[in-house]
Structure 1
């Protein structure tokens, strides 16, 4: 069936507004929320099939000589296997010899940001919207190795591809060797034009590294088409896999330029992606459930997932953006768009708004303040597949009620 989104016609197996279907998906996930949870940036509820697989394997994972039994027989100590790497490679559109299994996005991020070869005086470009842990790694390396870290100045809110590219082009210097960017700005939903940035960087001999924690399983993407040199992601957020699983992608010709976090004890060559998987013993019940996770996502379809997440975002953002006291930080007409959205309530502190919403309406949203710039603050929503349109509509009605109630104080302040 066809569905219109951001001015484009999508050919989908299931429409994003087919509520009977998406309620059936929710049933397979059985989220254990204690309130209406509209923030899913930390983790998503793993579907029952994944949870049951992990439970099934817990005892075996903790037993003696576990490597003698399936499904562990073909797995390395790190939990990786040819099957798992091939499944991830096929899903995300990259050769299997460019995909390494990791325990989370942070492990892949730390591998590249610490391991990419630099020398004193070299420069790394990042942004204010990079995850704070990513920036902490860069600053530690800057202190340790006398390299420079520069933050590219990007708009807080909607921004065109041209604006973003111009900002990076103006920031690149002769010493720039690495660009580190988030694919999706979690607070505002801005999707950075990774392909265009990567093309610009490659033309200058610069390595482009992408934090894909919020795009893997969220956007309909193919790594080979993105064109970046490296990409790290976790599988417990938008792929709905078990916590403690992730992957690192590095283009084949760039692998020798990155040192692994742990020295390879099996003499893997410098150009082998598997050198990044030698991290010691892991709890194998977690990666052993990745096939069930992939099957869950394939059954729904990534294009369908992405369209549903954008639909949920548009359902609240379209109604609220016309309110005089709401300033959207998200361009809901941009393509590709994410399911994230952010906004500012004029005349009301973000923390106060979030607290009232939770205490009086039992709805959880995220009040945020950017670590790099305290003037960048607001409210963020990131509904997931387990959320319903009824929950979205309840949030809108609660927001309108709060705004109406505080109208007098806002008018007097103005």
Structure 2
């Protein structure tokens, strides 16, 4: 079941248009890449912008020299922060530029004020590095972590919310969740979880590494207190760029990773940007990445990504040996999907696809060794021919 397309500027199956977008990206893949969760290929306009600034970034001593005169040592600037705020639906004084999602995640998970005996609620679907940060802090500060176990396969918002209702208690001060569980494409009901957490006096922090540029949303509508994302995945920006949002009233409750050397006040979002010297050619190309996304349209991007996923998932779902771990009926849907195949190990199928068909997919495994499957996430640079060739190859086994 596809999402409504009548209000889109371009249909998700308009192959001539999407081939023209793919032509502006030209990823340098050595095989058919059907995994775009680690990084999305930057379009040529972004790559050219970075290339044009490499020599300048490496040779000039004075930051005041054009074109970096408006950029801080961290690479941030008021215009860049305003563009990010406008795109993602927040105020510019709630957005800090970071070098990646992990920097923003580590800032909040390490810096949110807690005391011994406090409790953090997270989920088994959190990224493993996020859980590592929380576990280190728990050991260091005598803090309790409670994991909400969510099913690997399809579920419902009501089921997810019920599990969080049971987990968030009077000692819970921080709730840490992913916006999208990338392996299966599950989108958590962030707005409902945030509302529940706030009612119970807890700070909600969202890992948005896989939702920024992937699905339509406005941070102000999510109701969360913190949100971190990178720009090199679904925004197709330069690697080494990202942002951190913290709700204005909560900024003073989070310590920065680096002490502010310029005396930024505790309530200033800019205290999170004083991280030392960065390679300014990367953040300087953020405007080109944002414009690239704006010209396509977020709703159009999401519809195309969902269309590519459903093109393979719908065909596999009709074969009894394949069990989808993704609900392809849920809107708006994502690029991400996963499945298991009866009678064959996921690693073996992935090896065959790469060795015999030159197609790359991902085998994932959660901490529970039984929670394993094959993940795909086609991106804007992929074509329907590549998707169909993958399905034809898989069905041979």
1:347-366 alignment to 2 at 5 Å?
347-366=343-362
Distance in 2, Cα, partners of 1:244 & 1:322? 41
**TM value normalised by structure 1:** 0.95
**Aligned 8 A contact 1:187 1:368 in 2:** yes
1:373 paired to 2:372:
no
User: For structure 2, which runs of at least 5 residues remain unmatched after alignment?
Assistant: none
Aligned twin of 2:143: 147
Question: 1:114 pairs with 91, 95, 110, which one?
Answer: 110
Provide TM-score, normalisation by structure 2.
0.99
After TM superposition, give the deviation of residue 70 of structure 1 in Å. 2.3
User: How far does residue 71 in structure 1 lie from its aligned partner after superposition?
Assistant: 2.2
**1:406 equivalent in structure 2:** none
Q: Which runs of 5+ in 1 are unaligned?
A: 403-414
- Provide closer, same or farther for how the CA distance between residues 22 and 66 of structure 1 changes in structure 2, counting only shifts above 3 A: farther
Q: Match of 1:183? A: 179
Structure 1: distance between partners of 2:66 and 2:2: 44
1:369-405 Cα shifts (integer Å, max 9, x gaps): 11x2111000000000000000000001001012xxx
Residue 385 of structure 2 corresponds to residue 390 of structure 1: yes
Paired residue secondary structure (1:217)? coil
Deviation for aligned residue 1:63: 1.5
**Shift of the alpha carbon at 1:339?**
1.1
1:411 matched residue in structure 2: none
Pick from 136, 152, 155: which aligns with 1:156?
152
2:70 maps to which residue? Answer: 74
Could you list the per-position Cα deviations for residues 38-60 of structure 1 after superposition, in whole angstroms to 9, with x for gaps in the alignment? Answer: 00110011000000000100011
Q: CA deviation at 1:9?
A: 5.1
- The root-mean-square deviation of aligned C-alpha atoms, in Å, is 0.9
User: Could you report, residue by residue, the CA deviation over 1:171-198 in whole angstroms, capped at 9, with x for unpaired residues?
Assistant: 1121111110111011111000000100
Task: Describe the SS at the equivalent of 1:5.
Answer: coil
Equivalenced residues, count? 397
Q: Distance in 1 between matches of 2:97 and 2:291?
A: 18
Per the TM alignment, residue 65 of structure 1 is displaced from its structure 2 partner at its CA by: 3.0
* Contact 2:150-2:160 at 8 Å conserved across structures: yes
Equivalent position of 1:49 in the other structure: 45
- Of 2, 5, 8, the residue aligned with 2:2 is 5
The match for 1:282 is: 278
Deviations 1:8-35 (A, max 9, x none): 4551111110000000001100111111
